[in-house]
């Protein structure tokens, strides 16, 4: 199986859990390679959102507090930067701020943008894994650098009782 096929397999696995919903841009309508990996995810489990990254993660946190497991999709890691307020100041701290009363579980799916066959440019290909790993105290950041890691990373995220950031690598999709 290819990297992309493994990601599709992982998304299919996640979609089989009744609590899981997928939200973000280009998840109900084509526009990014991540759309193709949702081919087996029922449309009723997808929430297409406008370009409003901070609001998207705030909505994801709210859904998680109501028992859902949101898979919040940011097609480029650069776009996740726009949700830093929600990520660093809320999702990462809410359990400690509430003395354990609130334990949101959000799976953040993002990607380091592709440089092949065409370099998408500085605003679409950045890798912020190291920086996020320093900023986030309660949320692991996992970079999937090999197809053998894909399914297990998402299985771990689903089984965990805490949020996770999972970073895919577009250049491994093999366009």
Give the domain CATH number at 106: 3.40.50.970
- The total number of structural domains in the chain stands at 1
DSSP string covering 39-87, please? Answer: TTS-GGGEEE--S-HHHHHHHHHHHHHTT-EEEEEESSHHHHGGGHIII
Run means of pLDDT, 10 residues per run, the chain, 175 residues: 96 98 95 94 98 97 97 96 96 95 96 86 90 97 97 98 97 83
pLDDT of amino acid 66 = 96
pLDDT of amino acid 119 = 83
Q: 165 is in which domain, residue-wise?
A: 3-173
pLDDT of amino acid 175 = 61
pLDDT of amino acid 132 = 97
């Amino acid at each position: 199986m290819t990297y992309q096929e493994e990601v599709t397999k992982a998304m299919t696995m996640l979609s089989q859990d009744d609590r899981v919903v997928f939200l973000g841009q280009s998840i109900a309508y084509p526009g990014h390679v991540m759309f193709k990996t949702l081919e087996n995810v029922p449309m009723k489990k997808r929430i297409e959102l406008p370009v409003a990254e901070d609001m998207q993660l705030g909505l994801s946190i709210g859904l998680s507090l109501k028992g859902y497991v949101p898979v919040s999709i940011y097609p480029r890691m650069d776009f996740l930067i726009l949700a830093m307020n929600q990520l660093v100041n809320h999702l990462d701290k809410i359990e400690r701020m509430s003395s354990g009363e609130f334990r949101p579980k959000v799976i953040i799916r993002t990607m380091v943008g592709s440089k092949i066959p065409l370099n998408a440019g500085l605003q679409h290909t950045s890798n912020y894994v190291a920086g996020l790993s320093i900023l986030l105290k309660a949320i692991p950041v996992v970079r999937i650098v090999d197809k053998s890691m894909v399914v297990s990373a998402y299985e771990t995220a689903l089984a965990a009782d805490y949020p996770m950031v999972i970073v895919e690598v577009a250049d491994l999709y093999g366009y």
